[in-house]
Structure 1
Amino acid sequence: MTVGQSENEHQQLVDEEHPAPAPPRRNGRRRRTGLEWLALAVTLVVGVIMGAPLLLVLLNAVKSPEDFSAHGPLGLPTGIYLDGIKTFWEAVDFPRKVWNSVLISGLVAVFGVLISVLNAYALGIGRVRGRMWVLVAFLLATIVPQEALLYPLYIMFKNIGLYDTIWSVVIVFVVIHGAFGTYLLASVFGAFPRELLEAAALDGANRRQILWRVVVPVCRPTLAVLAVFFFIWTWNEFLIPLSFLVSADNQTVQVGIATLQGERIMNVTTISASALLGVLPTLIFFLVFQRTLTRGLTAGAIK
């Protein structure tokens, strides 16, 4: 043993016996480092930048047209003007549009996750032959432009009588989001602990029982995150609902906003009100399920 090696071993023993002091604490909490303060400042700046458009829309939604003309879009309103919100609410039958969006997005979230789970269980745990090529096909299905799907889907829905019904939009988005969910969950199920599967099989559980009583409960946080994303993605979709939902009673919030704007009956205040009411339901939905997203992401990061 060389002299250098013996000195290193001695230093390691000293470090183990006398560990470095922990960062000083203040009121029972660890004091933040300079790098942490920098990261917090950057996060606050990014949050302000991302929240500024929503705040601007809110200010202009409660501003009268005269007030907007006098002070511009950045000026503070001199009073609360709600006629723009009332005009948009009545012109598009907003409660009906919200119900259609909630119904379509909810159905897509439920059926999309269900199909993703069944497909991913066969690919990730069942290990079907040609698994990699099947996953590549699902991945390619998620990157096909929606414009390329409009005409064949239009012909198909016309022939089977689903055109101008909410089921046409539900079917399209269940397939599109289900392909992405299958690709994502297949990798998650592929890393599922084999010990749990073998233990369930030894207890007499069949494949269906293993899926619903073992795999799904363990992966529930991931499935909840996937359902939330499916809901928000479907809510924000515009092109396919615009193409397949021509009746006012079947249209979603996004289509109703665009249709009313195309009629040129709204001023800037009413347009801001429509943008505010269009984004408000998704914002509430996100805040309600924020803990679900946090738990799901944390469960995926800590395993």
Structure 2
Amino acid sequence: MTEVMTRSAARRASKKTQHVRSVGDWATLIILIAAALLVLFPLLVLTVNAFKTSADYNAAGPLSLPKHFTMEGVISFWTTTRFPLKFMNSFVISLVVAVAAVVLSVLNSFALGIGRVKGNTWIVLAIMLANMMPQEALLYPLYSTFKQIGLYNSQLAIIIIFTVIQSAYGTYLLSSVYGTFPQAILEAAAIDGASRWQILRKVVLPISWPTISVLFVFFFVWTWNEYMIPMAFLMSDDVQTIPLALATLQGQRTMDATTLASASLLSIIPTIIFFIIFQRKLSQGITAGAVK
């Protein structure tokens, strides 16, 4: 009898616990939905105003729904700024920088974190201090250097500059991760006759791939959104990026609010699509970092 009563009490306690967890789960879900709506609200307002006429905007303001759907703002920005060309410029620069910066970060971090280069701590400290330097301090030295070597007003200059800047951050991050890499795995691979290159390619890379994927996504988006250094280096319309095209139209004061909304929407859509494509890799990388 006592055993039956104990089991019954245990079942009631289990059901109560499950009920509490269920309520907590629902509360968490509601909070996350509210936070997501709060974050997405500016994007929703931007999208609504991008397809609104100037008359609707002036009559009802930015928070009203459009009474007349129009693509005039999108078409105006598309044709005025030669958007396909600017898109390709931004895409090529961001992709090349992301790939090159990830490769450099991995090679540098492997040498500093696993290769145990002499004075690696001081090297990582110097890289960290370099990451803290504002870009404004780099403008004149970079301008003088690339002007002298004939790479001013070229996309190659932007690619070189941001590859170095992004790889410095990637090296600082990955070197601390590789510094805690299990030595037993590396020693076992070396005993089996694996070379340094084989250890990097077959042992280190597969384990650290989620973190590398996160760096790749961040490097791409950061480079895509860069404005100050491209503004100082890319003078010709044929080599400019999307942020520069948007700033140029703003400076000319040729856009109303709806056209500006259309231009802003077109400029951020590629990064949103990029995030959606690599969302799983990004989540895996963040989860791997949290578990580690």
TM over 0.5: same fold?
yes
Q: CA deviation at 1:131?
A: 1.7
Cα deviation digits, residues 260-294 of structure 1 (max 9, x gap): 11112111111000000011110111011101101
Q: Give the root-mean-square deviation of aligned CA atoms.
A: 2.0
Q: CA deviation at 1:125?
A: 0.5
Q: CA deviation at 1:48?
A: 1.3
- Are 1:38 and 2:31 an aligned pair? no
Q: Which residue of 1 aligns with 2:79?
A: 90
Q: Which residue of 2 aligns with 1:217?
A: 206
* Alignment map for 1:125-274 (pairs within 5 Å): 125-274=114-263
**Partner Cα separation in structure 2 for residue 100 and residue 24 of structure 1:** 59
- Are 1:278 and 2:267 an aligned pair? yes
**Partner Cα separation in structure 1 for residue 13 and residue 226 of structure 2:** 54
Using a 3 Å threshold, how does the CA distance of structure 1 residues 212 and 71 change in structure 2: closer, same or farther? same
Using a 3 Å threshold, how does the CA distance of structure 1 residues 203 and 41 change in structure 2: closer, same or farther? same
Cα deviation digits, residues 97-123 of structure 1 (max 9, x gap): 111111111111111011111111111
Q: CA deviation at 1:302?
A: 3.0
Q: CA deviation at 1:40?
A: 2.6
Three-state SS of the structure 1 residue aligned to 2:238 is coil
Using a 3 Å threshold, how does the CA distance of structure 1 residues 197 and 267 change in structure 2: closer, same or farther? same
Paired positions, count: 284
Q: CA deviation at 1:24?
A: 6.2
Amino acid at match of 1:40: L
Amino acid at match of 2:84: P
- Unpaired runs of 5+ residues, structure 1, are 1-13
Amino acid at match of 1:235: W
Using a 3 Å threshold, how does the CA distance of structure 1 residues 159 and 19 change in structure 2: closer, same or farther? farther
Using a 3 Å threshold, how does the CA distance of structure 1 residues 24 and 207 change in structure 2: closer, same or farther? same
Which structure is higher in helix share?
2
Match of 1:101 among 90, 95, 119: 90
Using a 3 Å threshold, how does the CA distance of structure 1 residues 77 and 120 change in structure 2: closer, same or farther? same
- Are 1:111 and 2:90 an aligned pair? no
Q: Normalising by structure 1, report the TM-score.
A: 0.89
Amino acid at match of 2:89: N
% identical equivalent positions: 49
Q: Normalising by structure 2, report the TM-score.
A: 0.92
Q: Which residue of 2 aligns with 1:9?
A: none
**Partner Cα separation in structure 2 for residue 247 and residue 222 of structure 1:** 37
Three-state SS of the structure 1 residue aligned to 2:193 is coil
Q: CA deviation at 1:23?
A: 4.9
Cα deviation digits, residues 212-268 of structure 1 (max 9, x gap): 121112211111111011001111111011111111111111111101111121111
Match of 2:109 among 105, 120, 134: 120
Using a 3 Å threshold, how does the CA distance of structure 1 residues 23 and 175 change in structure 2: closer, same or farther? farther
Q: CA deviation at 1:151?
A: 0.6
Q: CA deviation at 1:41?
A: 2.6
* Alignment map for 1:285-300 (pairs within 5 Å): 285-300=274-289
Using a 3 Å threshold, how does the CA distance of structure 1 residues 187 and 77 change in structure 2: closer, same or farther? same
Amino acid at match of 2:253: R
Amino acid at match of 2:193: G
Q: Which residue of 1 aligns with 2:58?
A: 69
Three-state SS of the structure 2 residue aligned to 1:155 is helix
Cα deviation digits, residues 56-105 of structure 1 (max 9, x gap): 11111100011111111111100211011000000001111111111111
